[in-house]
Structure 1
Amino acid sequence: MIVYILLSIGLISHVSCKAPQCCSTVKNEECRTACFTLTTAGNQREQMEHLLDVSKSCHGDQIEFWQCVNQTVQVVHSLAVWSGRPCCDLAKNRVCEQACREAKSQSEIKKACMESLETHLYECVKKQREGEICCSTDEDYSCRITCQGTFLANYNRKNQRHTLRTQCRSTNTIMQCVISNVEDFKVIKLIDHLPCCYQIENQRCRETCERTLSTMTDQYKIAGELENICGPIFPQHPPWSCFLSQPPHKKVEEITMDYARLQCCSKASNDRCRTLCTSTYSSDWQSHYSEFQSSCQDLTLPVSRMEAPMLTCITDAYEPCKLGCDGLDFCTNFNNRPTSLFRACSKQSDNAARAEFQSWLVTKRPLSPQLQIPVKDINTCEPEMWKAIACAMQVKPCGRKPASFVICRDDCEYLLNKCLNTSAIHPSQSVSHLCKLLSPDDTARSCISIKQFTERSPFSDYSTTDLTTPCNPNPCDADEVCWNNHRKCRHPENCPAYVCHKACSMGIDSAMAVPKHVYIRIPNTSVSDSKSDSCVKQQICRCGNKKLENCRSIPCTKQDKCHLGGAQGGISKNHGEHFRIDCNFCICHSGELVCTKGRCPSGNDDSTLTGLSCDCPHNYHPVCGDNGKTYPNSCLAKRCGGLRTDQIRQGACRLADPCRENPCGNSFRCLPKPQVCLHIARESCLQYECVPHGVKCNAHYHDPVCDTEGTEHTNACLLLKKGKTLAYRGHCQTHCSTTSPVCGHDGETYTSQCQALAARVTVDYQGPCRVVGHFSGNMSSGPCPGVSCDPVLPPQCKPILPPGACCPVCAAELRVLYKPELAEMVSREMMSGPLSVQQTVDILSHNLEILECDVFGFLGVDQSEVVILIKPVTATPTMLQVQACIREAERIEYLVQTDSPLLKAYATLTPFLLAPMRAPSTIAVSSSGALNSSFPLLSVLIILTLFTLRTFNSS
């Protein structure tokens, strides 16, 4: 395949000693030198390894270099003729080696090369064939050669990703292909791999897998029966891919299946389902899964419908929603959707959708195996819509309330009114009746409108290079977790977009892993669970050396109801239920009501909301609380913040020097370390760090600081050891000013814009803080007096005004409600001092998928509220990036309010209870504007972002 492409662009010529001639035309000096030395490398594999090293600095835009490489480097010429030819050096027999060097395909070496004797040669040829398949997906010549070379050099997945990122535009597509190609299936002890069955989407295949592995012992018969039902043994298709990737576990009864899904069991309303769920996802999974599936997961049964919260949580934990979809050959209308969420965007799902659609063409009974709905020929009756449904069932788009895919009733009635074969159904089965069975809950939050997928994505004709997801697909090793890298690098030209951290799995069949040293909240399976006990028992563990350790039991979470008095007299709310009381958001947690404290209008006039919360005066006399937060005045600190008079002092927190009285003593150096704590424990919320003199610094202790020269250090000890001066805490920032003070949206004055951003606080206005801002999110009364706001970027964005702010920002806002008592409990068990806003914001940032978005946050003036802002962090943000950040915020809102283990398993986020969201909208651009050529895209974004302006409906 590669040879024809190269011939078509006129690059292939005879390999000869042309290096000095063509290398001299290479403009870049480093690449020119590399060009001269490439032809002197040893065998072809060594040539390729050298070329891969060179490719890190000689990118695809060095056209003359790559043209010369094609003309002079032997390994490149061999690849163009046949991808397996560079493997010929591995042949043991000379006759075989000669035949290999003359061959143009694998079939031509079979006579001269016996596979049983030439195992290394054939292994290399097979790997090169896989590389040829994967690497041909990119149009760039330099990318294809580099990609093919990583297979020849036998790079692991992590090194492949690092190398390909410098050369290839479609790295994600290539890596998906690379990951799906594994070694040939070999017959193994299949009985040890029962969890693999649970991953199979095809119901008949999944049931066959469970039955055979649970009841049969002959591995050959098991494999044969699975092959008959599930299809040929292809290593990239389930269940074979799972059998190969998971080592057998001999002592299954001692290993927890999945702590993440186990945490969902407490959401069960039925005692039996709760017990079966707990047994299934703990160490007793092998004997209870089938019963759990038939009794509690069959959605045709009334009990299963009652267990929707538990089942949705299980789905979220095992198959989480991820942004973007690409690389599908059959479900092409699902491609190029960077701001949409999907559970299973993969080649396997694409193939499954194609097979599903083909089966519908034959059976003419799509939609539901249980109902067996007869339809007309779907090849002529709305074929695109049927295809979209088949694809949606496999690719699984996520709605605003991510759950299992359910067709919307409008779509169902439209389809069946046109395509139902009425002559083949019982008279009692009307279209309306059938669609009520197929779509029992037809709210906007629970169904997916399928019509959007009957046409190409609105983003198909536009570049989506301004959105990147470095961790999807996962470039890290199996025992690592991937985090986006937002930090400044010393060498920006070679700065990885992600970081791989050693991690602990949440179980042998878990989709979730947590980084080393992180504390996790999980169910406590060692404590007996009485059915009459309404307390959910949990523990906090630390990820140690590849496993969770140092587990400590924590106070159980009571499931008590909340009884509302006053105007709502006599109404009860269940534990975890969220609702509104007037204009305030509330949640019931362990029998206690936790609510925001907004000043609600009398009637429909929102102008009354411009006053301060808690009926405080609108004056600016800042005070500093013992929690490290600056309040605009003492009234707000006491009435809203819940602080006592002895817990506040006059002046802003950052203006005081915490090291003035040398609290560390003479053996230590005191350095300021501002933090805002979610509670005030017995020990105070310290604002400084004591760095010891004359000791060896721990290079593995990660608490970054930036010096006055713009250089980042892993921690303050290393900074002082090198004799540098601290500029600010956090990663060194780029694209920001370091020269003048700014006021942050948290009401705190920072010495520079860079210092504010490093503290994960967005800038409100230039200069020191000097006025009280708005707390309503409403700008009807005009800006703060004496404050000039910078222009909002991008200009098409209609921004929001964070609480307490003077200037708006184009960001999605989450007003996170939390319980200080939970924050105190977590910090006590983690033994790490008071829990800070910075810690929670860092964890949320690591859970974002889009590199161009990041999380900022601060403690609100209202007690028990953290304000989170998610916005683009590029120098010139685009509306596409704004929309992606909004979707990230929607996802986090959902995970918090549903107590999802994907987020709430992190002990640091345990106190978070509810996160109602506000999002910016867009405004139209005039025809004379610079963005007029993008008007169709902007129109789509206007509709999408207006749709996200949400009201928080009562449960």
Structure 2
Amino acid sequence: MATVRASLRGALLLLLAVAGVVEVAGGLTPGSAGALCCNHSKDNQMCRDVCEQIFSSKSESRLKHLLQRAPDYCPETMAEIWSCMNSSLPGVFKKSDGWVGLGCCELAIALECRQACKQASSKNDISKVCRKEYENALFSCISRNEMGSVCCSYAGHHTNCREYCQAIFRTDSSPGPSQIKAVENYCASISPQLIHCVNNYTQSYPMRNPTDSLYCCDRAEDHACQNACKRILMSKKTEMEIVDGLIEGCKTQPLPQDPLWQCFLESSQSVHPGVTVHPPPSTGLDGAKLHCCSKANTSTCRELCTKLYSMSWGNTQSWQEFDRFCEYNPVEVSMLTCLADVREPCQLGCRNLTYCTNFNNRPTELFRSCNAQSDQGAMNDMKLWEKGSIKMPFINIPVLDIKKCQPEMWKAIACSLQIKPCHSKSRGSIICKSDCVEILKKCGDQNKFPEDHTAESICELLSPTDDLKNCIPLDTYLRPSTLGNIVEEVTHPCNPNPCPANELCEVNRKGCLSGDPCLPYSCVQGCKLGEASDFIVRQGTLIQVPSSAGEVGCYKICSCGQSGLLENCMEMHCIDLQKSCIVGGKRKSHGTSFSIDCNVCSCFAGNLVCSTRLCLSEHSSEDDHRTFTGLPCNCADQFVPVCGQNGRTYPSACIARCVGLQDHQFEFGSCMSKDPCNPNPCQKNQRCIPKPQVCLTTFDKFGCSQYECVPRQLACDQVRDPVCDTDHMEHSNLCTLYQRGKSLSYKGPCQTFCRETEPVCGHNGETYSSVCAAYSDRVAVDYYGDCQAVGVLSEHSSVTECAAVKCPLLSAAGCKPIIPPGACCPLCAGMLRVLFDKEKLDTIAKVTNKKPITVLEILQKIRMHVSVPQCDVFGYFSIESEIVILIIPVDHYPKALQIEACNKEAEKIESLINSDSPTLASHVPLSALIISQVQVSSSVPSAGVRARPFCHSFLLPLSLGLALHLLWTCN
């Protein structure tokens, strides 16, 4: 808001300048003032030349160019020439006129950031000193000014138009009608592009009523300021009056870390016309980063982290302490990786770099920061290192001439530190210790190393591991990618992010209506997880955030509202993360995962959660092996399906009883064969619609109805949510279908290859009328025909019924397939077997809508985190009570690269679940997922592998509408 006040008063000077009262020079002749100034640079000929060109320039564009370049030739230390030029060229010269962020520098919170900003000539110059995650106001102001620079450049040499245009962007609040009118009057005939550009900007900053911000007054720290604030907002109209009144009434200058001014800064960016802005909930400054604080291993770092991201900005000392004690501390790797996930999540693919070119064309590798800014940053780092020292927060490393000593290795290091490749499982981005030691032994200036330090001891601080699961080997990036042009087989529509700052990018899996422009992504409205957060969640979703005070284990659930703010927050019971589990006489702390025989377990707040797989041990007898079926309770492999009250079909009553269902809680026959609307459970004015679902919450508390009652409407909404009836006719939505007296076949557009309904068996053991019906349930297909076998659960089982099943041939040569649990047929895919906390799901259901939470909800949420459109998400609830998630290539003939991409997506999601990363855990109900095991379709050498016709194309999203009539043409 400091810039608001300055710009409002500056507008008066602008009006005087435009009216001619203040002279604005368009061209200058070298006179006594110019000669006097330039004499100050007599010992620096380059600076003197630039100075003389500035004073002799008659071209506005030439003058601007010279002013922008001047700092390169006349350094900061030449104070006399800067002072002279500033006083000799009033109204025209500013030292950093080319730096659009200069007017924003006072918004910087950290002193060192503010100083760097004032000395900068571009955003890159402050990127090392100013942290974007907590200098939100500064970077927002710079972005606004950058847009102003683009818009106003259309004015060309028309000074009045340019000045009025620039006035629009000098304030962080909505431009006034008079400002917009002035731009139209002076610029309409000069540049329609400028008007269009400005209109795009002003429409995002609508006019607002000052009383809409009354809730901000409650943020003031003393009672007198609160009263003054409310009186001023209700009586003053112009921004200048309001800002001046608040400064006087509260006896304080506008500071972005002050809760009162912080609120005004935030509210000015999230206003919609005609909507009253209600007080945002106390979700902390950054709920996503606050989630990471509980992962700190030391109490010091936990307290510092909580202090920085809870309800008040940490001071400069707190940030410096966090940098010193925590930011590079190996014991805090869990917290630091979590924070990195929030700042820069690992994303597949890297391309279009001009300096770090060896990182290009890597579509199945993960990177945190593959962008032009990091590319430039790596080049800048190399230039700094060439001066003989690498400066780290806690140590300076003297090096030899890196232009001569291993320059390619140093370049790979600089690029790795900036582009940040990350491991798919650990998500770590540090280089391996052996590479660090090797380069420092060869090129470190060991005579100048800090006392008591060697190459090994320095690398122990920087890169303490050689475990390839946790470090990045530099050898990978010493040469270009070998993939070349085939990288187009895997695309990344949302990387780099094409959407505006407050919107979320989603992969377009729905396709488009014929004739409509079709992008591979869509931008959707979202909410930030706090006033200083850049972590965005989808509008309309439920979000879990830590309590605002940052108490470990305490969370609340909020919804992302239409206003762009988190609202309707509900507190949840705190979880005691200090509680441990005793297993085999040993103590296991919260979050620890381990194996017991063939089962995987995790300790969750003192409760032991384990998979329930039947195991054979090394002590098992031959008789045990002979009778072992691998099924729960070693049930016989008989396929006599029963339908559980949770909506899951179990292969037999024995298995249903084994998983805990009593006889009255299941009935014979598969769930899909039941008609939940017969007899009709709905009222006369309602229609009963089957709604098959598998519920994960407790049935006795939340039920699991397989139908829903909807009102009988005379007229249907025009919302497009296509469905296909049993006559293969498409309807715009379900209401229209039933209004026309038709029966639902499947949700989604009608597909040509499903015109003839032929039954298929899904991985969940249900028989579907068609492939499309299975898809609409997000279930992939196991084999053709009715379900007839229990399926494989263990490599040791002697299940024979699958022998009668005719499996389709594999979709791709060179793939070592997997068999999902309970299925018969192999496929090329990445698979996750996930355990969840049922008690947590019950709690979520209780505090939200009192409805059961289903497998489909989990799959739909996970689907949002798969960034490659060549892969899609399917899954089911296994008979061993695990959620099985399959990430499968969707192309007819998936290439090896596409299969690898799906594998990497699966590994990434497994890592996010196992580490409780806010990337997933912020989303309800994914926060209840505890532990995951991944299995991928590894590649086998192509030699000797026979390419086979593709007959397993069950996997294309319905909406793509591609030619899948080849689906069943193989024998």
TM-score (norm 2): 0.69
- Residue type at the aligned position of 1:453: Y
Aligned to 2:902: 885
- Residue type at the aligned position of 2:459: C
Written as runs of structure 1 = structure 2, the 5 A alignment for 1:302-317 is 304-317=329-342
Please give the secondary structure, in 2, of the residue aligned with 1:326.
Answer: coil
Deviations 1:329-381 (A, max 9, x none): 11000000000111111111111101111222221x34856443334332233
Match of 2:260 among 241, 247, 251: 251
| Aligned-residue offset at 1:226 | 4.2
Residue 485 (structure 2) pairs with residue 465 (structure 1): no
| Aligned-residue offset at 1:510 | 2.5
Cα pair distance change 1:294/1:369, threshold 3 Å: closer
Single out whichever of 684-693 and 403-412 deviates more from structure 2: 403-412
Written as runs of structure 1 = structure 2, the 5 A alignment for 1:356-505 is 356-363=381-388, 365-366=389-390, 368=392, 370-403=394-427, 405-425=429-449, 429-459=453-483, 461-491=484-514, 494-505=517-528
Please give the secondary structure, in 1, of the residue aligned with 2:572.
Answer: strand
Whether the 8 Å contact between 2:294 and 2:553 is mirrored in structure 1 is: no
Written as runs of structure 1 = structure 2, the 5 A alignment for 1:549-568 is 549-565=567-583, 568=584
Cα pair distance change 1:849/1:928, threshold 3 Å: closer
Aligned to 2:598: 583
Aligned to 2:119: 225
- Supply the distance in 1 between the matched residues of 2:884 and 2:370 (Cα, whole angstroms): 32
- Residue type at the aligned position of 1:251: L
Cα pair distance change 1:233/1:912, threshold 3 Å: closer
Residue 279 (structure 2) pairs with residue 260 (structure 1): no
- Residue type at the aligned position of 1:627: N
| Aligned-residue offset at 1:501 | 2.0
Aligned to 2:149: none
| Aligned-residue offset at 1:816 | 0.6
Aligned to 1:192: 107
Aligned to 1:913: 930
Residue 305 (structure 2) pairs with residue 277 (structure 1): yes
| Aligned-residue offset at 1:387 | 0.7
Aligned to 1:63: none
Aligned to 2:6: none
Match of 2:614 among 571, 596, 599: 599
- Supply the distance in 2 between the matched residues of 1:229 and 1:724 (Cα, whole angstroms): 60
Written as runs of structure 1 = structure 2, the 5 A alignment for 1:62-73 is none
- Residue type at the aligned position of 2:863: S
| Aligned-residue offset at 1:575 | 1.1
Single out whichever of 271-280 and 407-416 deviates more from structure 2: 271-280
Could you tell me which runs of 5 or more consecutive residues in structure 1 were left unpaired when the two chains were aligned. 1-109, 123-182, 195-208, 214-220, 932-955
| Aligned-residue offset at 1:831 | 0.4
Whether the 8 Å contact between 1:777 and 1:802 is mirrored in structure 2 is: no
Please give the secondary structure, in 2, of the residue aligned with 1:555.
Answer: coil
Single out whichever of 770-779 and 841-850 deviates more from structure 2: 770-779
Whether the 8 Å contact between 1:540 and 1:907 is mirrored in structure 2 is: no
- Supply the distance in 1 between the matched residues of 2:843 and 2:736 (Cα, whole angstroms): 32
Residue 316 (structure 2) pairs with residue 290 (structure 1): yes
Deviations 1:305-324 (A, max 9, x none): 43332222111111111110
Whether the 8 Å contact between 2:581 and 2:589 is mirrored in structure 1 is: no
| Aligned-residue offset at 1:230 | 6.1
| Aligned-residue offset at 1:475 | 2.7
Please give the secondary structure, in 2, of the residue aligned with 1:797.
Answer: coil
Q: CA RMSD in A?
A: 3.7
- Supply the distance in 2 between the matched residues of 1:277 and 1:842 (Cα, whole angstroms): 32
Residue 641 (structure 2) pairs with residue 622 (structure 1): yes
| Aligned-residue offset at 1:810 | 0.8
Aligned to 1:649: 667
Cα pair distance change 1:212/1:672, threshold 3 Å: closer
Whether the 8 Å contact between 1:516 and 1:545 is mirrored in structure 2 is: no
Cα pair distance change 1:760/1:731, threshold 3 Å: farther
| Aligned-residue offset at 1:299 | 5.5
Single out whichever of 664-673 and 794-803 deviates more from structure 2: 664-673
- Supply the distance in 2 between the matched residues of 1:596 and 1:340 (Cα, whole angstroms): 31
Deviations 1:815-857 (A, max 9, x none): 0100222112212222061001001100111111101111111
Whether the 8 Å contact between 2:324 and 2:393 is mirrored in structure 1 is: no
Cα pair distance change 1:889/1:899, threshold 3 Å: same
- Residue type at the aligned position of 1:584: N
Written as runs of structure 1 = structure 2, the 5 A alignment for 1:417-816 is 417-425=441-449, 429-459=453-483, 461-491=484-514, 494-525=517-548, 529=551, 535-565=553-583, 568=584, 570-603=585-618, 611-640=630-659, 642-679=660-697, 680-699=699-718, 705-708=723-726, 715-721=733-739, 724-730=742-748, 738-776=756-794, 784-816=802-834
Aligned to 2:941: 924
| Aligned-residue offset at 1:409 | 1.6
- Supply the distance in 1 between the matched residues of 2:904 and 2:772 (Cα, whole angstroms): 26
Cα pair distance change 1:115/1:226, threshold 3 Å: closer
Whether the 8 Å contact between 1:520 and 1:543 is mirrored in structure 2 is: no
Please give the secondary structure, in 1, of the residue aligned with 2:414.
Answer: helix
Whether the 8 Å contact between 2:630 and 2:796 is mirrored in structure 1 is: no
- Supply the distance in 2 between the matched residues of 1:465 and 1:752 (Cα, whole angstroms): 32
Residue 358 (structure 2) pairs with residue 337 (structure 1): no
Aligned to 1:13: none
- Supply the distance in 1 between the matched residues of 2:315 and 2:779 (Cα, whole angstroms): 47
- Supply the distance in 2 between the matched residues of 1:284 and 1:473 (Cα, whole angstroms): 32
- Supply the distance in 2 between the matched residues of 1:587 and 1:561 (Cα, whole angstroms): 13
Whether the 8 Å contact between 1:691 and 1:716 is mirrored in structure 2 is: no
Deviations 1:881-916 (A, max 9, x none): 110111111111111111111111111212211111
- Supply the distance in 1 between the matched residues of 2:565 and 2:630 (Cα, whole angstroms): 52
Paired residues in the alignment total: 724
Please give the secondary structure, in 2, of the residue aligned with 1:298.
Answer: helix
- Residue type at the aligned position of 1:245: S
Residue 843 (structure 2) pairs with residue 825 (structure 1): yes
| Aligned-residue offset at 1:688 | 1.4
Cα pair distance change 1:578/1:518, threshold 3 Å: same
- Residue type at the aligned position of 1:309: S
Deviations 1:404-435 (A, max 9, x none): 53221221233234334444447954443333
- Supply the distance in 2 between the matched residues of 1:212 and 1:432 (Cα, whole angstroms): 33
Single out whichever of 241-250 and 758-767 deviates more from structure 2: 241-250
Cα pair distance change 1:633/1:418, threshold 3 Å: same
Please give the secondary structure, in 2, of the residue aligned with 1:550.
Answer: strand
Whether the 8 Å contact between 1:317 and 1:512 is mirrored in structure 2 is: yes
- Residue type at the aligned position of 2:641: P
- Supply the distance in 2 between the matched residues of 1:928 and 1:272 (Cα, whole angstroms): 57
Whether the 8 Å contact between 1:778 and 1:801 is mirrored in structure 2 is: no
Residue 349 (structure 2) pairs with residue 324 (structure 1): yes
| Aligned-residue offset at 1:735 | 6.2
Cα pair distance change 1:361/1:267, threshold 3 Å: same
| Aligned-residue offset at 1:648 | 0.8
Could you tell me which runs of 5 or more consecutive residues in structure 2 were left unpaired when the two chains were aligned. 1-55, 66-97, 145-171, 174-255, 267-283, 949-971
Identity level (%): 38
Aligned to 1:838: 856
| Aligned-residue offset at 1:733 | 5.6
TM-score (norm 1): 0.70
- Supply the distance in 1 between the matched residues of 2:547 and 2:383 (Cα, whole angstroms): 47
Cα pair distance change 1:405/1:338, threshold 3 Å: same
- Supply the distance in 2 between the matched residues of 1:614 and 1:266 (Cα, whole angstroms): 39
